[in-house]
Structure 1
Amino acid sequence: MLDIDHKNRNSVVRVSIFNREFWGKGYGTEAMSLLLKFGFEILNLHRIGLNVFSYNTRGKKSYEKLGFKQEGIVRDELFYNGQYYDSILMGVLKDEFNQN
């Protein structure tokens, strides 16, 4: 959890799996689910947000599975391997996560 704002009950979260050997096995979704559970149940947060780059379709799908919704796009924010990519702002509210 990053930038926890207890007054407004929100935070930003980030999970990264760099070793491709572990991609597609559900580890990222499980790790994010545990972070969300901690944020909502222990820290009593109302909203948790994140940014995902547009090339990361696996990550975006995983986040959507957990209840995250797309809230906005910062166009061409990342220049990576000679190409620009959008940064997609996503967020999930406590009641949306509890529905999953």
Structure 2
Amino acid sequence: MNIRPFEIDTDFDIIKDWITDERTHAMWSANRMVYPLDRTDLQQVLAEMHDKFGDKSFVAVKDDGSVAGFFCYSLNNDAKEGMLKFIVVDPQCRGKGRAEEMIKLALADAFDNPYTDAVQLNVFSENVRAKKFYEKIGFKERRTAENAFAYKDESWDRCNMVIWGAGT
């Protein structure tokens, strides 16, 4: 597997159907994007995230050339912390180690930068499977914002998780 930049013209049609219900979409995007995922909206959100935070979007590509995952990454130079966002894996790849491989490649790239001390991400506490997955990789819960997000009649806590580089 390798990581390459996301290309809206070729990759959007591959990832657009990976999230099949509105609640999962809300957990993935915190409603920053419309459901169902729309090309123009995604392109606009990614451009805004790039302009505001320096986010770059990537896909994980299996050895056979097929796209297995998507994520965004940015580095806050002042805090020396990277941030992973919008992580999603092809449903056909789940449970096969592809997500772990993708995140480990993303972390390796992040920590190749000598100015990166840590990488963080946010996950809703209600997304138990994802939270356990990040813990398995080595992320630790740093803080939780209670009732940070409302979805219909639910209120979700947002958990900030961090993993430190080997030198910190």
TM interval, shorter chain, is 0.7 to 0.9
**2:107 paired with 1:16:** no
Residue 126 of structure 2 aligns to a residue whose secondary structure is coil
Report % sequence identity.
27
TM-score for the superposition, normalised by structure 2:
0.50
Q: What is the CA-CA distance between 1:16 and the residue it aligns to?
A: 2.0
Give the whole-Å Cα distance in 2 for the aligned partners of 1:82 and 1:26: 34
**2:90 paired with 1:33:** no
Aligned equivalent of 1:61: 132
Change (3 A) 1:76 1:8: closer
TM-score for the superposition, normalised by structure 1:
0.79
Give the whole-Å Cα distance in 1 for the aligned partners of 2:128 and 2:101: 17
Give the whole-Å Cα distance in 2 for the aligned partners of 1:21 and 1:12: 26
| Cα deviation code 1:10-33 (max 9, x no counterpart) | 11112123x544433322222111
Q: Which runs of 5+ in 2 are unaligned?
A: 1-72
Q: What is the CA-CA distance between 1:62 and the residue it aligns to?
A: 1.4
Q: Give the AA of the match of 1:25.
A: K
Q: What is the total number of aligned residue pairs between the two structures? A: 93
* CA RMSD between the two structures: 1.9
Higher relative contact order (CA 8 A, sep 6+): 1
Q: Which runs of 5+ in 1 are unaligned?
A: none
**2:149 paired with 1:78:** yes
Q: What is the CA-CA distance between 1:49 and the residue it aligns to?
A: 0.6
